[in-house]
């Protein structure tokens, strides 16, 4: 909307400016042509339009070699309309045969036009040596300068012609296209890979595209990846994407580097609702690879691996389909409902079909790979590990004795003691927008558990050693250690327990 409003304001301003310029130029124009012979003027106009055509064609011919924009397109959009605009008035002038401009009469001015001294009838000023005849008028110079406005419009028109980068086939890309700005459209052949940077908030994103003529790797650096994450524009397996950027090509590699988040467009995803029975037990080739489908069922198993979540979804008839959620997708699109999904949860999952080739026929199967974690939707109330709704109340001993059982689960710890005030002791607790860390322990074990609260999470602003707190959050593993994560914008919280006396 902002862009539209801005555009409307500028159009108004530019129209006003242009109208003023046109009126001024019109006045100057008629004064100008009265001073030169009509035939010469018409000849100049025709010659000018021809020159524009020649320049446009030459220019386009050069550019066509590199950008593959056909000459016809440029001719149609730029050269011909412009030539028409300039040639038609010239022809009309010829047909109408306007009054012949008066013959130029050399008038010897009494004063030198350059320095203003008296010169009488002399043709050269005795004071400054300037000629008093055959001079170029300032108005003519301004008129010539005004043609820059026409050239400017022409150049902007040419820019519009080239505003859309020509689509290139991946198979046609080679080393000769190195460092060129190119555009390709293709299908994402696998889930994107993500290499987080130091803080994990962004990083290097890489995915592969295939347009049936070849495959190309597309990557984005941290800054662009962050924008893609903010705009929820993470391409998923099976997506059709339109992408443009700089090509880096060598003998055995072709990498397209995204320069901005706007350079990536993902086609809308249309999912086909299918029963599990249609997928379960099908052999390779029996289903179309990458087809987008939507499934509904009950979670029969949820396994957390170091690189992915594996969720088995089953229906009442015993048909089962595995949903494979790579860690990269979680890093890029967040945990979503995954933390609330346990065995028995009812879910709807949308994703692309992918054949899992394990090199062992027994395990080979069709899997579903979602594009984002938002494609896994939990039906009903979120449940904890026991299948009950809400946070699971437990002790620190429960969590640390068999952590993998509770991983990615919502847990509640009541009345635990702060054994190390961490960030609070360092004075970082007072700002609610700051993330904090501290350690807690309870009577169930001598070990302590790390608590990590995100910036903006519900928490007290002051905590010190020995304080009692009740915590509820997500039990997770980060950087090789187990922690209770208190997330912002959720029901997760840290509450200080007031001790009587």
Partner 1 sequence: MIPELYLVCIFFAVIGTFIGALLSLIPSLHVYNVIGFVMLAYLPFVGIIEPMHMIMLLIGMLTGYAFMFQAQTILLNVPDDSTIFILLPGSKYLQQGRGYEAVMLAGLGGLLGIFFIVIALPCGMLALGAVRKLLTPNILFLVIGAIICFILLSEWPKDFGTARTRLGRLRDGWSALGAGYLTFFLASVLGIIIFNTSIIPVDRSFLQLALPFIGLFAVPALLLNIISKLEIPKQHLPSSVDVTIEEVARGGGAGCMGGLLGAFVPSVTAGVAGLLAGHATAQKGDKAFIISLGASRIVYYVGALLLFFLPLLHLRRGWLAISINMFFVPETTEQFFILAGAVALCGFLAFVLLLGLSRVMIKIITKFSYRKISFAVLLVIIFIVFLIGSWQGLVIMLAASGIGLIPVMFHSRRLNCLAVLLVPLWLNIGGYGSAAAGLLGVL
Summarize as ranges the residues that interact with partner 1 (CB under 8 A). 3, 6-7, 10-11, 13-14, 55, 58-59, 62-63, 66-67, 69, 112-116, 127-128, 130-131, 134-139, 141-142, 144-146, 148-149, 151-156, 158-160, 162-163, 165, 181, 223, 227, 246, 259
In angstroms, the CA 204 to CA 193 distance is: 8
In angstroms, the CA 111 to CA 68 distance is: 60
- In 284-305, which positions are buried (b, 16+ CB within 10 angstroms) versus exposed (e)? eeebeebebbbbbbebeebebe
Q: Which is nearer to partner 1, 84 or 223 (CB)?
A: 223
In angstroms, the CA 414 to CA 438 distance is: 16
Q: Which is nearer to partner 1, 4 or 100 (CB)?
A: 4
Q: How far is the CB of 80 from partner 1 (least distance, A)?
A: 18
Q: Which is nearer to partner 1, 40 or 381 (CB)?
A: 40
Check: CB of residue 368 under 8 Å from CB of residue 352: yes
For residue 377 the two structure tokens come to 């939707």
Q: How far is the CB of 59 from partner 1 (least distance, A)?
A: 6
Q: Which is nearer to partner 1, 140 or 496 (CB)?
A: 140
Q: Which is nearer to partner 1, 67 or 348 (CB)?
A: 67
Check: CB of residue 248 under 8 Å from CB of residue 211: no
Q: What is the DSSP string of 141-208?
A: HHHHHHHHHHHHHHHHHHHHHTSSPPB--GGG--GGGTT-EEEEEEEE-SPPEEEE-TTSS-EEEEEE
Q: How far is the CB of 431 from partner 1 (least distance, A)?
A: 22
Q: Which is nearer to partner 1, 91 or 155 (CB)?
A: 155
In angstroms, the CA 314 to CA 320 distance is: 4
Q: How far is the CB of 36 from partner 1 (least distance, A)?
A: 13
Q: How far is the CB of 116 from partner 1 (least distance, A)?
A: 4
Q: How far is the CB of 67 from partner 1 (least distance, A)?
A: 6
Q: How far is the CB of 124 from partner 1 (least distance, A)?
A: 9
Q: Which is nearer to partner 1, 14 or 23 (CB)?
A: 14
What distance, in Å, lies between the first and last C-alpha atoms of the chain? 59
């Amino acid at each position: 909307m902002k862009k539209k409003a801005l555009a409307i304001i500028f159009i108004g301003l530019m129209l006003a400016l242009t109208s003023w310029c046109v009126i001024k130029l019109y006045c100057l124009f008629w004064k100008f042509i009265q001073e030169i012979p009509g035939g010469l003027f018409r000849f100049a106009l025709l010659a000018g339009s021809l020159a524009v055509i020649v320049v446009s064609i030459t220019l386009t011919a050069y550019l066509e070699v590199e950008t593959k924009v056909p000459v016809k397109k440029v001719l149609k959009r730029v050269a011909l309309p412009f030539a028409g605009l300039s040639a038609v008035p010239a022809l009309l002038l010829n047909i109408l045969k306007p009054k012949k401009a008066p013959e130029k009469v050399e008038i010897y001015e009494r004063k030198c036009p350059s320095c203003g001294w008296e010169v009488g009838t002399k043709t050269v000023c005795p004071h400054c040596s300037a000629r008093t005849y055959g001079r170029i008028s300032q108005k003519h110079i301004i008129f010539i300068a005004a043609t820059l406005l026409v050239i400017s419009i022409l150049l902007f028109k040419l820019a519009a012609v080239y505003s859309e980068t020509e689509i290139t086939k991946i198979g046609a890309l080679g080393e000769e296209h190195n460092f060129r700005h190119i555009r390709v459209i293709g299908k994402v052949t696998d889930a994107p890979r993500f290499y987080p940077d130091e803080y994990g908030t962004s990083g290097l994103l890489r995915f592969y595209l295939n347009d049936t003529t070849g495959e190309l790797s597309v990557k984005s650096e941290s800054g662009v990846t962050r924008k893609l994450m903010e705009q929820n524009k993470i391409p998923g397996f099976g997506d059709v994407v339109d992408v443009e950027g700089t090509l880096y090509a060598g003998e055995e590699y072709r990498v397209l580097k995204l320069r901005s988040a706007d350079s990536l467009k993902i086609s809308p995803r249309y999912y086909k609702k299918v029963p599990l029975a249609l997928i379960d037990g099908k052999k390779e080739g029996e289903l179309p690879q990458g087809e987008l489908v939507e499934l509904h069922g009950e979670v029969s198993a949820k396994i957390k691996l170091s690189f992915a979540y594996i969720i088995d979804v089953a229906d009442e008839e015993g048909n089962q389909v595995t949903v494979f959620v790579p860690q990269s997708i979680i890093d890029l699109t967040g945990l979503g409902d995954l933390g609330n999904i346990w065995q028995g949860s009812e879910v709807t999952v949308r994703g692309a079909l992918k054949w899992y080739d394990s090199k062992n026929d027994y395990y080979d199967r069709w899997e579903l790979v979602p594009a984002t974690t938002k494609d896994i939707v939990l039906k009903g109330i979120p449940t904890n590990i026991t299948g009950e709704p809400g946070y699971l109340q437990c002790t620190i001993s429960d969590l640390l004795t068999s952590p993998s059982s509770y991983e990615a689960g919502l847990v509640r710890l009541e009345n635990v003691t702060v054994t190390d005030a961490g960030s609070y002791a360092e004075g970082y607790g007072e700002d609610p927008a700051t993330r904090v860390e501290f350690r807690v322990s309870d009577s169930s074990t001598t070990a302590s558990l790390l608590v990590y609260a995100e910036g903006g999470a519900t928490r007290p602003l002051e905590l010190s050693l020995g304080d009692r707190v009740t915590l509820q959050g997500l039990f997770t593993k980060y950087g090789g250690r187990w922690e209770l994560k208190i997330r912002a914008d959720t029901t997760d919280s840290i509450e200080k327990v007031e001790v009587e006396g």
